[in-house]
Structure 1
């Protein structure tokens, strides 16, 4: 509708979403969106998109354990005390999630836990954990009989790395 005419027909249309798989990005582009931005979303990235200075190529896949720039932005937005409390909550949520892996049963309940924790990881910039959880969630949607044991050790190791980075950040 926007593209059919009028003053806004040439405006960039940007989708903002919590999670975007490659096939989702392709679908958004096919229906007319110029760009898809997903969590974690920084002010800088949003400004670059709106101003037209963001590269129009495919999204860059960054795979850091923790996006320190996003963490600094979080502190700037929430303040040190609230940010610290949020990080401690994330540490508790992550520990609880990893503890469920030993007894995880396939099903909607577990997939919802994966989705929820992936969202939490995205908010704080825990990119590798978020990306891995997003892959697990997608796998669970496609393969109802997925063997969850093959995911257990990699997720435990990745959470340990993520936890260490979050704890280091708290000590700053």
Structure 2
């Protein structure tokens, strides 16, 4: 293996180690299941590794990887997404995610209620809410990650937040987009 390839491998490894928690959180919020999130991150990183030269040359490699992950998730679950994201009483579901250190939402008393409500959102609304408010991306960055227009992001995020705000158990304690 040449020095350049070895440097690329080392750089890729550093990228993965540094971004793993955030990629896992995003994948979990997109899939609703810890194991599915791990699979999604792994398959995304496999695709990214093959194209690492192009990825590392991008202005924002993390945004590039996020877009690959969102696209992979959409392709994988296009037909079954609603079924997979629906809250379940008989399975591990969203309530068993291991929150990352520093995750402020993890401190919320109503985390389980919030995660179940998030899982019940339609796929595009869920992706918009996750990327805008959990990942704290701008509308433009979210649109790039979802492969849609800024207007579509605004519409889907607004509809998703409205549905979450309509849940009485969440109305008093959960902040959305920096506002209570």
TM over 0.5: no
TM class, shorter-length:
0.3 to 0.5
What is the TM-score normalised by the length of structure 1? 0.33
Higher strand share: 1
**Larger Rg belongs to:** 1
